[in-house]
């Protein structure tokens, strides 16, 4: 065995895990690793972000599109604390990350040394595993274990705190990949009896309904989900993070559930007799008032995480396991059926939404540009093949509602944490993961400014992200709530913005501003004409609204179609 430094052992361990890209920012307590990285630039690409929060969001975007573990490398103290938001975001959205933070030498721990923070203590509640390496000899073991934990079972973030003495210490390098931890059971045993019970319940159902989430994507169960729908004829709808698991035009796909989801699947949730939830967690943005949610239905909940079964919505039958494996076992037990009348009821409601909301939003004939028509036009001109990344707010909901998808892993957004500023660095990571596809990033004038420094990363890497700012000069989603529920008291939501086109130009990024409807097509085509970065700013209606909407805490079967009309 060759004797090498801990820093080189880290680099070699990452290579053993087939890591090719790392997102990070150097600093004093991680400098030995960055020095050794200098010798491996032909094998390991480092993306220099402009802020550590950008590193972790970029790693999230990379992981969500590629399916690989995203890797982050930052220094101690503020470098470590700057990744906390992204780590929490990754935890709630089940994104596999390995975040490596520099740390002061072990003898200085607990002395309030310069740039010392208790990284393990801070991150334990928001990670699958958080560990501080004590000596160079531990590095291969810790990294192998970190990757196994991050990618297995329900994926999530792992933090490895790396004191400087371990970085410069010598060790005999011997790497063994980890595929078992005695106390860790990433994929629970699936009870065959629960499958038999579920099949019987589904075969007897008169109005069954499937809601699927990101668990379909994470388990690569898209093919099995299609097979389930084709065999049973059951209508299906997606959560926000389940978007793109099925093509948008797929037979029996009825749209998205949730606060700004589609009318049909939301209302039919409270009319179905069997609700089959696959790889989703019944969060409050899906259920709204939990006391009125699907009370008439028998619930079958399929999830890899035992803690999710019955946590929010009681399950008549809970099936533990990887969604792909569970569906492969369940489908042969199901009868071939059709539910034409039941399926048509979804379509009838969605047609009401189409006439009342979608057509006015996407095909207006006069007035200011709408957010929805911009999103719909971008989707159309990319032939629904783009990877859509969003920030958080009205832009996020509009992108989710009006983008169409042909391919899985094509929608990247901050779901559970709702992190403004997520989108720009996540789009950079998504583009690095899929360089041959258009990555179209929708953001608002508020969200873009939270991590706008990452335009510098685009400049340095020439990452061909297409940035679409839906500029209404407001913090749009908060303003919408203020209009509907706070008597139009617009407290601190009006935005005075910079010249975004000039700002993009300062970073060497081409840009164009659109204020008139007749200029929109040409501007989007110009944006999509090459693989270079581009910033398209579109001035949209100032007080645009995202409808339909289930007001917070209200019943899912009662949706607002306009400010005055309910269904």
Closest CA to 104 of 121, 116, 118: 116
The strand pair at 21-24 and 45-48 is best described as: parallel
**Cα–Cα distances in angstroms (integers) from residue 474 to residues 344, 479, 497, 560, in the given order:** 39, 7, 9, 22
Burial 250-286, CB ≥16 within 10 A → b, else e: bebbbbbbbbbbbbbbbbbbbebbbbbbbbbbbbebb
485 tagged catalytic: no
164 tagged catalytic: yes
One of 2, 20, 43, 114 is an active-site residue; which one?
Answer: 114
What's the alpha-carbon Rg for the chain, to the nearest Å?
24
Give kind and range of the element (H or E) at residue 565.
Answer: none
Q: What is the DSSP secondary structure assignment for residue 444, as one 8-state letter?
A: E
Give dist(CA 70, CA 186) in Å, integer: 19
Give kind and range of the element (H or E) at residue 303.
Answer: strand 298-303
**Cα–Cα distances in angstroms (integers) from residue 281 to residues 3, 96, 262, 291, in the given order:** 47, 18, 19, 16
In the numeric block, the tokens 């790392």 are attached to 22
DSSP 233-279: ---EEE-TTTTTSS-TT-TTEEEE-STTS-HHHHHHHTT-SEEEEES
52 tagged catalytic: yes
**Cα–Cα distances in angstroms (integers) from residue 102 to residues 9, 30, 147, 312, 356, in the given order:** 15, 5, 18, 38, 55
115 tagged catalytic: yes
One of 450, 477, 527, 559 is an active-site residue; which one?
Answer: 477
One of 52, 222, 361, 537 is an active-site residue; which one?
Answer: 52
The alpha carbon torsion through 331, 93, 145, 43 (nearest 10 deg) reads 100
Say which residues have a Cβ less than 8 Å from residue 504's Cβ, sequence separation at least 6: 455, 467, 510, 511, 535
Q: Which two tokens stand for residue 269?
A: 């949730």
DSSP 56-115: HHHHHHHHHHH-SPEEEEE-STHHHHTTHHHHHHHHHTT--EEEEEEE--GGGTTTT-TT
Active site residues: 52, 114-115, 164, 477
């Amino acid at each position: 065995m060759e004797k090498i430094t801990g820093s080189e052992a880290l680099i070699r361990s990452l290579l053993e895990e087939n890591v090719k890209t790392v997102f990070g920012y150097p600093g004093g307590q991680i400098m030995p690793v960055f020095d050794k990285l200098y010798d491996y630039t032909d094998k390991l690409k480092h993306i220099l972000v402009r802020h550590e929060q950008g590193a972790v969001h970029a790693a999230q975007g990379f992981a969500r599109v590629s399916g690989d573990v995203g890797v982050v490398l930052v220094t101690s103290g503020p470098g470590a604390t700057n990744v906390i938001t992204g780590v929490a975001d990754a935890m709630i959205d089940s994104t596999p990350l390995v975040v490596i933070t520099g740390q002061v030498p072990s003898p200085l721990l607990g002395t309030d040394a310069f740039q010392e923070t208790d990284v393990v203590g801070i991150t334990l509640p928001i990670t699958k595993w958080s560990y501080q390496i004590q000596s160079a000899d531990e590095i291969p073991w810790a990294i192998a274990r970190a990757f196994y934990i991050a990618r297995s079972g329900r994926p999530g973030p792992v933090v490895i705190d790396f004191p400087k003495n371990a970085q410069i210490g010598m060790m005999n390098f011997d790497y063994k990949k980890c595929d078992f931890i005695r106390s860790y059971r990433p994929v629970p045993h699936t009870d065959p009896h629960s499958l038999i019970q579920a099949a019987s319940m589904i075969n007897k159902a008169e109005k069954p309904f499937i809601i699927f989430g990101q668990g379909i994507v994470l388990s690569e169960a898209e093919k099995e989900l299609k097979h389930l729908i084709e065999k049973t004829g059951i209508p299906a709808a997606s959560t926000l993070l389940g978007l793109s698991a099925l093509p948008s035009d797929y037979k029996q796909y009825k749209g998205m559930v949730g606060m700004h989801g589609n009318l049909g699947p939301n209302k039919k949730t409270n009319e179905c007799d069997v609700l089959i939830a696959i790889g989703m967690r019944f969060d409050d943005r899906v259920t709204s008032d939990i006391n009125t949610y699907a009370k008439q239905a028998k619930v079958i909940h399929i999830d890899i995480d035992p803690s999710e079964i019955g946590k929010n919505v009681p399950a008549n039958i809970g099936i533990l396991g990887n969604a792909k494996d569970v569906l492969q076992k369940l489908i042969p037990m199901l009868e071939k059926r059709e539910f034409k009348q039941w399926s048509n009821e979804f379509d009838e409601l969605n047609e009401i939404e189409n006439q009342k909301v979608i057509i006015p939003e996407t095909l207006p004939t006069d007035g200011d540009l709408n957010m929805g028509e911009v999103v719909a036009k971008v989707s159309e001109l990319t032939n629904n093949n783009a990877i859509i990344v969003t920030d958080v707010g009205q832009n996020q909901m509009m992108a989710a509602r009006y983008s169409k998808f042909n391919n899985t892993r094509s929608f990247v957004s901050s779901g559970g944490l709702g992190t403004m500023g997520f989108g720009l660095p996540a789009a950079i990571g998504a583009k690095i993961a899929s360089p041959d596809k258009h990555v179209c990033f929708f953001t608002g004038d508020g969200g873009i400014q939270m991590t706008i420094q990452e335009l510098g990363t685009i400049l340095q890497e020439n990452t061909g992200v297409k940035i679409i700012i839906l500029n209404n000069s407001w913090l749009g989603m908060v303003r919408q709530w203020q209009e509907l529920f706070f008597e139009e008291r617009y407290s601190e939501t009006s935005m005075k913005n910079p010249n975004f086109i000039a700002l993009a130009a300062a970073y060497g990024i081409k840009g164009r501003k659109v204020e008139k409807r007749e200029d929109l097509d040409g501007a989007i085509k110009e944006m999509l004409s090459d693989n270079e970065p581009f910033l398209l700013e579109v001035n949209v209606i100032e007080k645009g609204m995202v409808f339909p909407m289930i007001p917070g805490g209200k019943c899912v079967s009662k949706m607002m179609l306009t400010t005055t009309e309910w269904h």
